[in-house]
Amino acid sequence: MANKQALRDLQSRLAERLQAARTRARGESWLAVECGGRGLLLPLRDAGEIFALAPILPVPHSQRWFLGVANLRGHLHGVVDLAGFLGVKTADVGREHARLVGFNSALDINCTLMVDRLSGLRSDTELTPLDSDGVPRPAFVGARLHDAAGRVWQELLLSGLANDEAFLKIVG
């Protein structure tokens, strides 16, 4: 009899915890990347698969920051040098740590961003928003945040980038 009551109590606690997990507000989380010596945060809800650097076929007459196309898991993806697009490219950054970050398939864009390196995951509990510095920024640039070590991170909204006219115009 005591075992039945213990089982009922356990089931009741599990049901309560599941309901609480469903109703609890989820915080923001980001993929942290490095580009041109800057820390960028890509919202996880918009990011897709991460790929190792693959052979890239150049596309003639395209922008310098559009590196070409790559065959990733049997699908062609455009490859954008993110630091080059943002204008923060530094001279001779090695590609040994470079990765390709895809867009979430819901954004309907077959593109990857080449980043200099991955820096892990971040959540809103680890970062503090900074006040606006008044500098005008494109619509795909989100909040500026800093971590406990004082490092400043810039949020880059992939959903906004996927709709940005300059980003979509790969022909030079």
- For 41-87, what is each residue's pLDDT tens digit? 999 999 999 999 999 999 999 999 999 999 999 999 999 999 999 99
- For 117-138, what is each residue's pLDDT tens digit? 999 999 999 999 999 888 899 9
Q: Check if the beta carbon of residue 110 is closer than 8 Å to that of residue 75.
A: yes
Q: In the chain, where do the E strands start and end?
A: 29-35, 38-43, 47-52, 66-72, 75-81, 99-103, 111-115, 117-123, 128-129, 141-146, 152-156
What are 111's two structure tokens? 């593109």
12 lies in some domain:
no
Number of domains in the chain: 1
Q: What is the dihedral of CA 79, 84, 89, 93, to 10 degrees?
A: 20
- Whichever domain contains 64, its CATH number is 2.40.50.180
d(CA 172, CA 76): 20
Q: Give the structural domain span for 137.
A: 27-168
Give CA angle at 77 (57, 68), nearest 5°: 30
43 lies in some domain:
yes
pTM: 0.82
Question: Which pLDDT score, from 0 to 100, does residue 21 have?
Answer: 43
- For 17-27, what is each residue's pLDDT tens digit? 555 444 444 58
